[in-house]
Amino acid sequence: MKKYRLLVTIIIAMGIIIIGTTNPITNLYKSTNLINKGINPKEQSNNEKNNPKDLLICIDPGHQEKGDRSLEPAAPGSSQTKAKVSSGASGVATKKPEYMLNLEASTVLKHILEGMGYRVAMTRETNDVNISNAQRAIMANEKNADMVIRVHADSLDNSSKTGASILIPSKDNKHTSRIYEKSNNCAKSVDEHMKKAGIEVNGIFERGDLTGFNWSKVPVVLVEMGFLSNYNEDYMMSSPQYQRKLMQSIADGVEAYFGNNSNL
Ligand SMILES: [Zn+2]
């Protein structure tokens, strides 16, 4: 009699479960699967957006083999004009032109970011191009890049000056105020990771005078890798090991920036 009652109770209980839910086994499987992955079902959509494969990084290797001194507006609708693009400085020790060094380092960065799962677009992949600074910004706008990294090297009359610098669009410039916050957050993350890798960084500087910033509608960070006018730093920037360390630290900074969901 006891056995019979137990059997009836089990049959009734199973019936209630099957009728009460549409497909309990599938639902149970789904929840268990999400729990196993450590994902709360409510957070799943955010985590999917965080997949680096969905993010596009545009890299702009600064300058080109031959400068173009013809003029373009320094900002959309501006009457102030600046030369379209210059060939840049060259190394005091290596004699290597900046446009060449920038492309070398940018190619290293491209491979690192692609290895991390990002989509990468380059404004140029050869030195013999003619693409103005405004055109480079427009290229990134049209691709709706999630972040633009511009790669440059500094030069000064003072040969003792060393260190990298990070430039971002100005907060108070009407053309760039909307992209300031994301650019600044990414710059802070890049700065932190460069310093962590042992790279000398002089700081983050806002610039309202750069055509390549003023035309940008997407967040952008420009890294001046170091000084071509300093003998040791010029040599160092051409070393494949140093280029790899520097570019890895920039990529790590970008990764940490996107790792924070509020930046998506
Ligand atoms: Zn430059």
102 Cα: distance to centroid of ligand 1 (angstroms): 8
**What's the angle, vertex CA 170, arms to CA 168 and CA 176, rounded to 5?**
95
96 pLDDT exceeds 90? yes
Structural domains of the chain, count: 2
Instruction: Look at 104 and 3; give whichever has higher pLDDT.
Output: 104
Which pLDDT band holds residue 13 (cuts at 50, 70, 90)? low
64 Cα: distance to centroid of ligand 1 (angstroms): 10
Residue 188 shares a structural domain with residue 200:
yes
10 Cα: distance to centroid of ligand 1 (angstroms): 77
Residue 158 shares a structural domain with residue 39:
no
Residue 196 shares a structural domain with residue 130:
yes
154 Cα: distance to centroid of ligand 1 (angstroms): 6
Residue 34 shares a structural domain with residue 61:
no
Which structural domain range is residue 199 located in?
50-263
Query: Are residues 243 and 193 in contact, defined by beta-carbon separation less than 8 angstroms?
Result: no
Residue 105 shares a structural domain with residue 183:
yes
Which pLDDT band holds residue 260 (cuts at 50, 70, 90)? confident
160 Cα: distance to centroid of ligand 1 (angstroms): 18
The tens digit of pLDDT for each residue in 142-193 reads 999 999 999 999 999 999 999 999 999 999 999 999 999 999 999 999 999 9
256 Cα: distance to centroid of ligand 1 (angstroms): 26
pLDDT of residue 43: 42
Residue 198 shares a structural domain with residue 252:
yes
263 Cα: distance to centroid of ligand 1 (angstroms): 28
112 Cα: distance to centroid of ligand 1 (angstroms): 22
Q: Which DSSP letter does residue 52 get? A: G
2 Cα: distance to centroid of ligand 1 (angstroms): 88
221 Cα: distance to centroid of ligand 1 (angstroms): 13
214 pLDDT exceeds 80? yes
| Token pair of 240 as six digits | 């494949």
CATH number at residue 174: 3.40.630.40
Residue 105 shares a structural domain with residue 185:
yes
170 Cα: distance to centroid of ligand 1 (angstroms): 18
pLDDT of residue 19: 52
Q: How many residues does the chain have?
A: 264
The tens digit of pLDDT for each residue in 125-139 reads 999 999 999 999 999
247 Cα: distance to centroid of ligand 1 (angstroms): 17
31 Cα: distance to centroid of ligand 1 (angstroms): 53
113 Cα: distance to centroid of ligand 1 (angstroms): 22
**C-alpha dist (Å) from residue 226 to 2, 33, 102, 199, 208:** 85, 49, 11, 10, 21
Residue 212 shares a structural domain with residue 231:
yes
Residue 84 shares a structural domain with residue 30:
no
177 Cα: distance to centroid of ligand 1 (angstroms): 23
Residue 97 shares a structural domain with residue 37:
no
pLDDT of residue 1: 53
CA distance 184 to 40: 31
pLDDT of residue 5: 73
| Token pair of 59 as six digits | 């890299």
122 Cα: distance to centroid of ligand 1 (angstroms): 16
Task: Sort strands 68-73 and 201-207 into parallel, antiparallel or unpaired.
Answer: unpaired
Residue 41 shares a structural domain with residue 62:
no
